[in-house]
Amino acid sequence: MRIPRLVIAAPASGSGKTTVATGLMAALTACGLDVSPHKVGPDYIDPGYHALAAGRSGRNLDPWLTSEDLVAPLFLHGARGADVAVIEGVMGLFDGAEAAGGGGFASTAHVARLLDAPVVLVVDASSAGRSVAALVHGFVTYDSTVRIGGVILNRVGSDRHERICRAAIEETGLPVLGVLRRHADAGTPSRHLGLIPAAERSADAVRTVERLGALVAESCDLQGLLALAHGAPPITADPWDPAEPEFAGARPVVAVAGGPAFTFGYTENDELLNAAGAEVVPFDPLRDEALPEGTRGVVIGGGFPEMYAPELAANEPLRRQVAAFDGPIYAECAGLLYLARTLDGAPMCGVVDAEARMTSRLTLGYREAVAVADSPVTRTGERFRGHEFHRTAVVSGPGAEPAWRWPGSGPEGFAGRNRLASYLHLHWAGSPEMASRFAGACR
C-alpha cells in the first residue's frame, strides 16, 4: 500500500518538533489534503493537537507498547484513505527505550526504518551559525539506514542568520525545506507533565493550531515536503484490523471517561472494544451527573484530574454512582486517582482503598509488568508492556490486592474480580485479549 509519508524528527527534545509537525498537518489540511497524524512513542498530548490540526484521530506508533511487527499495520490502519501522513518523532532522532535494552529501540529512527519513511530534521539554530551543518552532517552519517531528506531550521534570528545557516546546510547536500523565525507565540502552553492537552483549551487550542498552520505555510516549502513524502516506497504489510467475529446478542454499553480531566487514551482501545461487541459511550466526570444509560462497564483513562479535583469532588451524584457500580471497571493513572478515596484531600469515588496526592517527583518510563491477580482484563502471571507518566503518589489501605509487579518496583495498583486500577498505561493493540475479556465481563 502506498501512502505518502514524512517523519518530523530533531536532534533533541525542545527543538520544535511539535510546532513543525502540528503546523504542517494544519497547513496541508488547509490546502485541501486529507492528512493522517501520528506520534512516535506513548505520549497522549501531542496527538490531541494533531487531531485538531488534521481533523482525524491522532494515533501512536510505539514498538515497545505493541510490537515491531504491528507498527506498519497500525500505521496503515490509521492512515487509510489519507493523501499524506505526518509522523511526529519523540525525543532526539536516535533516542530509544532503555527498558528495551537500549540500542535505539522504539526511537524515532526505529519507527522511520519500520515505515521506510523519509525524515525531516528540525534543527534549533538559535545559538549557532555554520555549526548547524556539522550537526546535520553527523545525524546524516550516524546511521545510513535512516534517510534524512531535508532540514527545517527553527528559531532563526535574522536574514543574515538565515543566509549563514542555509548556505552551510546546503553544502551537506540536503535541502533546507523551511526556516522558522523566533516567535514568542509559536508553541503551546505547558505544565508539570508537558504540554497542556488540547481538550482542556478548547477554542484557545484551535487558535493555537491555526496559528501554527499559518506559520508553517509561510515559512516552509510545502511542495518540497510533499515531494519528499511522495518519494516513500509502498509498504507491503496488511493494515491492522481490530474486528472479531460478530457477537450474536446485545452490545453492552461501556462508559469511557472523557472531557478535560481525562484526555489520555489510545483510539485503538475503543476500536477493539467495539470490535469485541461493546458499545462505547463517552461521559464527562466533570459535567455528567450519571453514567450513560445501560452502562455495564466503565473505562477511565489518564489525564490531569489533579487540576480538576474540586470540580470532580463537587459532582457528588456521579461519584456515588461510580462507588456503587458493581460491573467491570478498568482505570489507568488519572482513573486510579479518581477511584481513590481522596485526591489532595478532595473526596473522590472510594472504589479503591487509597489516598492520592500530588508530589514533586516525576515517575516516567516503560514497564514490563507481571499481573499478580486476576481482573476483568488480566490473568495471574501474564506479562504486559506499558508505561508510567505521573507526578502523584497513592498510599493504599491494609489488605489491598495489587495488580502488578515489575523489576525495581513493589506491588502496584489494585485488582479484583470486577476491577483493575493502576498507574500503568497500556496500548490494547499489543494485547487485544484485554478488550475481548472486558467486553465479555460486561456481557
C-alpha 91/C-alpha 93 separation (Å) is 7
Reply yes or no on whether 333 is catalytic: yes
Q: Are the C-beta atoms of 157 and 181 separated by less than 8 Å?
A: yes
C-alpha 69/C-alpha 177 separation (Å) is 32
Per annotation, catalytic residue among 165, 220, 333, 442: 333
Which amino acid, 115? L
Closest CA to 105 of 96, 93, 114, 113: 96
Count CB neighbours of 79 within 10 A: 27
**Residues taking part in catalysis:** 333
